[in-house]
Structure 1
């Protein structure tokens, strides 16, 4: 299993404090400092910089943290597998809300047909929270549609989907053609901070030197179905993945706004920790 000194190192960085790390691990601050010194002596380099009362990782510290995260997650998975040797295997999956509602169910049906004895747990949350749980070893792999540091993980693109502006069929924007700037005078119905689709929209607006605050008004909601209902009732406009609104587009309760020079596709990604012992097992789900 993972060296406890590595766990101490991970906790110091996650808490950004030696004091808070000692409290979380229920050991003395002196013990925390000793663990870090032993690791630094072992690797021959400093792991932390402390300037202006801010703790940061050195280059060596960043490399060690990536290793420690994977080792910790694999260690937890191995202990779990040992404890379940006579039981059914457990797979812990995370997905962002768009994927969890509109893509993941079909993947799970396919997987369960081939592995009927497997037990599954699925967490549907925003991109930020899923990445945190992956690194803490609480999830085996995750499906993301948001913007994140792809170099820090093993990433496989599952599919691409169009990210489109939408309104009610009764909205003035339901007919005609507009620029993205024209939409700023409307009330925007948008996902919460930390969600993947919000990050995608923020990137598109950034290219126009705009932000979400540039819209006339905004409503933040953490539920896609609620966003669709409010939009269909002419409470504002929104941006969602086309996969998530196919039914509403076919029924006519939502209309895609015709925006000039706005074609945006984004990847739906399968994400695991780098160098995991279980990499091949996890990949089987999406093959």
Structure 2
């Protein structure tokens, strides 16, 4: 065999960072050692894996073919290494979640998983849907939990549990007394919404797409908690997941507004790269998530076990 696992590790890191210096930093190697390893891999195989434009390295066609196989082989090698050292195969799990899932479900799901597998190192990256999809596509994450649409040809999408957005306002707002609103009434209000690129904003925009009148969007914010605080302060009305609002509704600090003319239902999904090797940790985490939501019809009905 003319290549080593270290050479493949360097290749994958350079492919992900598109830079030898950044790859060297992530692998705790010198830039010289990283460059030499990549050069040797290409020389021994008599092929070129990158197009070099200045200091930037971009995968060529052969490099794109090699990347998923190299990532899968390295993942399997890590599992073999742990088994040979007498440890469980649950080495690490690199998760990504969109903001609603990440803030209100993922941390508790991870806690439950780590109670069963304390030896597993778990990391969680919370970003909007567009960022999580991009990271999965570049093999930077093992598994994603998203609330938006994903049409990427290289990504496997598995439905998880249904979610629903709801329009809401402060208790002192006139809509709170009415309890419901028509589309015409909604267009007269100031709105506090999630940013473009988020799954929440995409669902909201799709629900409003047949209404020709533009909305008065006063603020666009990246965090649901910030939106809740702004609405509580009387700056406008909002629309986010019922899951993110259930505690505020129980306290009475925010009030739901029924909108019978809007379809605000959506789906939470699991996503992973189609060519990525599924580790034991990935499979177990998926099974635990599905077991915890079995029989649940909507995300805000999920009852998560306490983490002790």
Deviates more, 1:247-256 or 1:108-117: 108-117
Alignment map for 1:19-58 (pairs within 5 Å): 20=53, 23-25=55-57, 36=61, 39=62
- 1:192 pairs, out of 168, 192, 195, with 195
Secondary structure of the structure 2 residue equivalent to 1:74: helix
Tell me if structure 2 keeps the 8 A contact 1:155–1:269: yes
Contact 1:70 1:135 in 2 (8 A): no
Residue 180 of structure 1 contacts residue 260 of structure 1 at CA under 8 Å; is this kept in 2?
A: no
**1:4-31, Cα deviation, whole Å (9 max, x unpaired):** 7xx88x97xxxxxx674x63129xxxxx
Equivalent position SS for 2:272? strand
Q: Does 1:159 align with 2:161?
A: yes
Q: Quote the offset at 1:73 in angstroms.
A: 4.0
Distance in 1 between residues matched to 2:173 and 2:66, nearest whole Å: 52
Distance 1:72 1:242, change over 3 A: farther
* SS at 1:143 equivalent: strand
2:238 matched residue in structure 1 = 238
Structure 1: which 5+ residue stretches go unaligned? Answer: 12-17, 27-31, 40-63
5+ residue gaps, structure 2, are 19-50, 288-308
Is residue 2:76 matched to residue 1:74? no
**Mean Cα displacement is larger for which, 245-254 or 144-153?**
144-153
With structure 1 as the length reference, what TM-score do the two structures score?
0.72
What's the counterpart of residue 180 of structure 1?
183
Name the SS for the 2:275 alignment partner: coil
SS at match of 1:178: coil
Out of 187-196 and 200-209, give the one that drifted further. Answer: 200-209
Question: Any residues of structure 2 matched to 1:134-153 within 5 Å, and which?
Answer: 134-149=136-151, 152-153=154-155
Whole-Å separation in 1 of the counterparts to 2:227 and 2:286: 29
Partner of 2:217: 217
Superposition deviation, residue 133 in structure 1? 1.4
**TM-score (ref. length: structure 2):** 0.68
Distance, in Å, in 1 between the alignment partners of 2:219 and 2:174 is 19
Following the alignment from structure 2 to structure 1, what is the Cα–Cα distance between the partners of residues 154 and 235?
A: 39
Aligned residue runs from structure 1 range 79-94, under 5 A: 86=85, 89-94=91-96
- In the alignment, is the contact (CA less than 8 A) between 1:72 and 1:137 conserved in 2? no
Moved more, 171-180 or 158-167: 171-180
